[in-house]
Amino acid sequence: METTLVLLKPSCVQRQLIGEIVNRFERRGLQVAGMKMMQLDDNILREHYAHLVDRPFFPALAQSMKASPVVAMALRGVEAVAVVRGMTGYTNGRKADPGTIRGDYAMSNQQNIVHASDSPENAKIELERFFRPEEIFEYNHALLSFLYATDER
């Protein structure tokens, strides 16, 4: 099992899409292992978007990520990182495939509804960035035997 980090960005929270997006992840069969609302600041954003801090659009990106609280989620499942990235779709909502979250809800390269970790290594780092250990739960997933074959779990 893998656990991955998702952020429901201010573009999701302000458009009142929290429930719809959480519903998509749950219906796919991902287990919610942690979830909380938080207000991001420049410190955490400079860390989280370290690969983008030198880009000209970074100040606008940081501003957009501070525009309201976000919802941080830890989602668990077999190959959860790749599954959730697949559900997220291409960064630019205008180019994202229909059926992906960005392809169904976003028209923007920046205001693109969700963040999702892009590798298991980054998922571990990002989960530690946004959650304390006791905020991520290990609990029985009652439907597990109907979500996966025995040799997949």
The catalytic residues are 115
Nearer Cβ to ligand IDP (31/100): 100
In angstroms, give the least distance from the CB of 35 to ligand IDP: 19
Nearest residue (CB) to ligand IDP, 68 versus 141: 68
Binding site for ligand IDP (CB under 6 A): 52, 57, 61, 91, 109-110, 112, 115, 118
Between residues 58 and 148, which has the closer beta carbon with respect to ligand IDP? Answer: 58
Rounded Cα gap, residues 88 and 82, in angstroms:
10
Q: How far apart are CA 45 and CA 53, in angstroms?
A: 9
Terminal Cα-to-Cα distance of the chain (whole angstroms):
7
Q: How far is the CB of 1 from ligand IDP (least distance, A)?
A: 22
As beta bridge partners, residue 98 has 100
**Minimum distance of ligand IDP from residue 85's CB (angstroms):** 8
Check: CB of residue 73 under 8 Å from CB of residue 6. Answer: yes
Please, what is the minimum distance in Å from the beta carbon of residue 72 to ligand IDP?
Answer: 15
Strand, coil or helix: 110: coil
Query: Residue 6: which of 27, 29, 20, 25 has the closest Cα?
Result: 25
Scan for tokens 């074959």, then name that residue.
Answer: 149
Comparing CB distances to ligand IDP, the nearer of 76 and 115 is 115
